[in-house]
Amino acid sequence: MTDGPALPPVVVLVRPQMPENIGACARAMRNFGLTELRLVKPRERWPNEKAVAMAANAVGVLDDARLFETLEEAVADLDRVYATTARERHIVKPVLTPRGAAQDARDVARRAGYLFGPERTGLEADEIMGAQAIVEIPTDPGYASLNLAQAVLICAYEWRLAGETRRDQALQTGEFGPATQGELVRLYEHLEEELQAGGFFRTEAQKPTMVQNLRAIFARAGLTEQEVRTLRGAIKSLTTRRKLPRNRDAG
């Protein structure tokens, strides 16, 4: 379990299309005590008066919203990320209900984030890849479509409800906290660079799928800061010997 109470999670809207939906999301967040909104490449210009009109008394959430060009930048300081999606994926990850995700975040994260994709298409596979788990809202299979703000509201509500009751079991991380997404990305890039140099990626066509699978393994593991440092040290140790010049016999 992390030291002290978990901070409220961040809501990350990836490529949101309609400013009215952003405003409605801000209102849903504020209803349940979430105040930090991050936007990754919204389709419409930002700030936007349509979002303000829809937000009602939650305009402060919009005023403080942060804009990012990439998802990696938006989640770099978070140590646990949940990707909301109703679409089947080939990446192997834990699938949680909003209630399960809220309990998990309170138990093992210092700062968590919920990812929500564009209204029409949802999150792409590579955007889900770095998340620690998938969140699926158990809707009626015959009509699974949810408005973006509805999905945000359900996750925010479950987060607040989870503050009233805690699970009996929690991950013990000792003196080291969970690795942030930024630390994980640096681990991925370090490993992928060395695998490329070692000829692991047999063809460029295969590389994206292999990279996705590797990142999914580590994202699912729930690594701590110390474990990331240990892995990077192991990678360096294994590859340094390969890079040393071979001894040549004299004569």
Domain boundaries, the chain: 10-162, 181-243
- State the architecture of 181-243 in CATH terms: Orthogonal Bundle (1.10)
Q: Which of 12-16, 100-104, 129-133, 142-146 has the lowest mean pLDDT?
A: 142-146
**pLDDT (tens digit per residue) in 166-215:** 544 444 555 678 899 899 999 999 999 999 988 899 889 889 888 988 88
Indicate the class that CATH gives domain 10-162. Answer: alpha beta
pLDDT at residue number 250: 45
Q: Is the pLDDT of residue 57 over 60?
A: yes
pTM of structure:
0.74
Sheet arrangement for strand 95-96: 66-68, 37-40, 10-14, 112-116, 80-84, 133-135, 95-96
